[in-house]
Amino acid sequence: MNGHIPVMLEEVMAALKPRNGAIYVDGTFGGGGYTRALLTRAECEVVAIDRDPAAIARGAVLAKEFAGRLRIVEGTFSELDRLAGGMVDGVALDLGVSSFQFDEAERGFSFSSDGPLDMRMSGNGMSAADTINTLTEQELADIFWRYGEEKKSRSIARAIVAARPISTTRALAEIVERAAGPGAKRFAIHPATRTFQALRIYVNDELAELERGLEAAERVLKPSGVLAVVSFHSLEDRIVKRFLTERSGRAARASRHQPMASDSRSPTFHLVDMSPVAPGAEEVRMNPRARSAHLRAAERTPAPAWSGSSSFAASEGGHV
């Protein structure tokens, strides 16, 4: 599993409290960091899920090492209640892109090295190249604004349409950098970062997948089971926060000066911490990709499952 450093590993393990005889779901197997930690810290079982066939193939060695206690399944974590095969004691979700995906130029997730514009985690559906070469200027601008919170979304979309067809990560990054203007270079992140983030989220339907995954975890967790979610940007964290706020029976405040009102319906989660947990300074120094991570954890209550569902992801959009 070389090449991948699990983010906030100790904090996630502290939340899940691995114990003998328990069953856990690692909904984002990736490099197998959480899975290995769970299996080595307790005589437990793990169902590991990933939509990336390459991650499934890499996991064969780990599956052999922990034969009888590890089952690796290809699929999306939105299906984790079905794929788990029964009720479980804990669910871990790391919403970041695997280091393997970022570091493999042919996957097209990063502009740090040139490669084809793909960005698909599973290899199915529209690629990033299909998206930028076929959607209208307005549709692209909406994607960049909604999923990347990119202030120059209109200018970038206009430049992309004028330059297409575009087929490589470097070509797209250069177009975005020119469209963002010379002032964009003053900031800490590359001018194309938000555009690439937006495309990846759109291509993989990540926010809707997250919403479905949270609801699936709610259905599959036993009473006192723990859900631990590590997010990497505000869109993800906002969805997780709203989900757990509602499910814990705490209504959002109209003002920060007002007390938090209780929801009249039975809560299905108890918040482990009211605020997200951030990585320590030493972890960020050792693994800069952890710098934007936030962990939110909650414990499943014995209450009946929440009736119905709400569309958190759909309400997170904006306008251009």
Model pLDDT for residues 147-166, shown as the tens digit of each residue: 999 999 999 999 999 999 99
> pLDDT-based confidence at 265, cuts 50/70/90?
low
Average the pLDDT over 126-147 and give the result.
Answer: 96
146: CATH: 1.10.150.170
**Over 90: is that where the pLDDT of 274 sits?**
no
SS3 262: strand
Its domain, for residue 225, covers 9-99+206-316
- Report d(CA 139, CA 161) in Å as an integer: 11
pLDDT in tens, 18-42: 999 999 999 999 889 999 999 999 9
164 within a domain of the structure (yes/no) = yes
Q: Residue 231 is inside which H or E element, if any?
A: strand 221-231
Residues 68-124 pLDDT 10s? 999 999 999 999 999 999 999 999 999 977 544 444 544 445 666 788 999 888 777
212 and 200, same domain (yes or no): no
pTM: 0.83
Q: What residues contact 269, with CB distance under 8 A and at least 6 apart?
A: 218, 227, 244, 247, 248, 298, 299, 300, 301
Residue 160 lies in a domain: yes
| 137 and 75 co-located in one domain | no
Instruction: Say if residues 130 and 267 touch (Cβ distance below 8 Å).
Output: no
Whichever domain contains 40, its CATH number is 3.40.50.150
- Kindly report, residue by residue over 174-218, the tens digit of the pLDDT: 999 999 876 555 556 788 889 999 999 999 999 999 999 999 999
